[in-house]
Amino acid sequence: MKTLEILVTGRVQNVGFRSCVRRIAMNLAISGKVMNLADGRVQIYATGEPVVLEKFTSMLYSCPVAVIRDLAVHETGYVSFPDFSIQRGIYQYGI
């Protein structure tokens, strides 16, 4: 098991992208979280088996309406998540 941080750039906010990411993660039994960032990117933390994480990353491009320009994928220290959740970005609403 390993954990990835994925930063997604493009038209990925206000198009249902986070819901699509969660649906893909749940279908692949990946745990983690997804949230919008203030700069327009989406940040994903995903924990799972390496081969499944590769499939997850490639499937992100299948989200309808979203236009992904770049995926920056970095392995982080292992993090155990109870499930896969959609979170509000810390800065998204000026909080």
Known catalytic membership, residue 18: yes
Q: Which residue out of 11, 22, 23, 36 is catalytically annotated?
A: 36
* Contact yes or no for 8/41 (Cβ under 8 A): yes
Of 18, 22, 23, 69, the active-site residue reads 18
Concerning whether 23 is annotated as a catalytic residue, the answer is: no
In Å, what is the CA distance from 15 to each residue of 2, 18, 74?
28, 8, 24
Q: Within 10 Å of residue 79's Cβ, how many Cβ atoms?
A: 16
The Cα 62–Cα 17 span in angstroms is 10
Q: Which residues form the catalytic set?
A: 18, 36
